[in-house]
Copies of this chain bind each other. A is one copy, B any other.
Amino acid sequence: MEDLTPLVNYVKKYIPLTEGEESFFISLLQVTKVKKRQYIHQPGYICQYRNYVLKGALRAFISDNNGQEHTISLAIEDWWIADPASFILREPGTFFVEAVEDSTIVQISYEAEQQLMQQYPKFERFYRVTSQLTAIHAQKRLLSNISQTAEERYETFAGRYSQLLQRFPLYIIASYLGMTREFLSKIRNRNLPPAQQTTDSSNNVN
C-alpha cells in the first residue's frame, strides 16, 4: 500500500481529522498507477474520479474542432485533477485527462465523496474551502487571459509556477498559456540573459 500521508496532510490543512474520520476517508480511496501518455478520462464519458497526484504529472486538455489541443489544467504532486464540470454535474465530459509522466494517483469516486460528506459533514467544509480556492484560481487565470499580453501571461506563470516549467514540455505550457509553441520559445529566449540562453537552448529538448 502506498503511503497516503501527503493526501491526509492535504485534507488536514483545511479540517482537523480524528483517527476514525481519517480511516474512513482512506477506506474510500483507491490508488492507481498510470503510464505516461495514458488517459484517465476522455470526452463523452462522465468523469468518475477526482484524482490526487501522489507522484507524477498530469494535464487536462481539450481538442478543438481543428484538432488543436488546449490545456486547461496541470497537476503535479499534491495537486488534484479532474473534469470538474463532468464530475460534479454528472454529465458527459469535454476534457481528456492524460498522464504526462508515469504517475501514481489517488482516486475518489463521486459516490464515495457524497458518502464521505454524508457520514462526516465536516468534509462539506473541506470541499467548500477548496472549491472556493479553485474558483479564485480559475478567475485569476481568466483575468490574466483577457487582460494581459502573451508575454505578461508567461511572466506571471513563470513567477508563480516555476516548478511546472521543469515538469511539462514546452508545447503543453504554450497550450496552457494560450499561445503557440514557437511564440513561447521566442518569449523565453527574450527573457533570458545571454549566458543562460545558451545553456537553456542546449538543454531544451521539449
Contacts and interface: CB of A to CB of B under 8 A. Distances in A.
A125 B123 CA distance: 9
Interface string A108-143: 000000000100011011011001111110111111
17 contacts: A62-B143, A64-B147, A64-B148, A72-B143, A84-B132, A88-B133, A88-B136, A121-B122, A124-B128, A127-B128, A128-B128, A131-B131, A138-B138, A138-B142, A141-B142, A142-B145, A146-B178
Interface of A: 62, 64, 68, 70, 72, 84-85, 88-89, 94, 117, 121-122, 124-125, 127-128, 131-136, 138-143, 145-148, 178
Contacts of A117: 125
Contact of A139 (B121, B125, B138, B178): B138
A98 to B, nearest CB: 16
A84 to B, nearest CB: 6
B72 A139 contact: yes
Contacts of A62: 143, 147
A84 B142 contact: no
Contact of A128 (B131, B136, B146): B131
B142 A85 contact: no
Contact of A146 (B70, B122, B131): B70
A136 B84 contact: yes
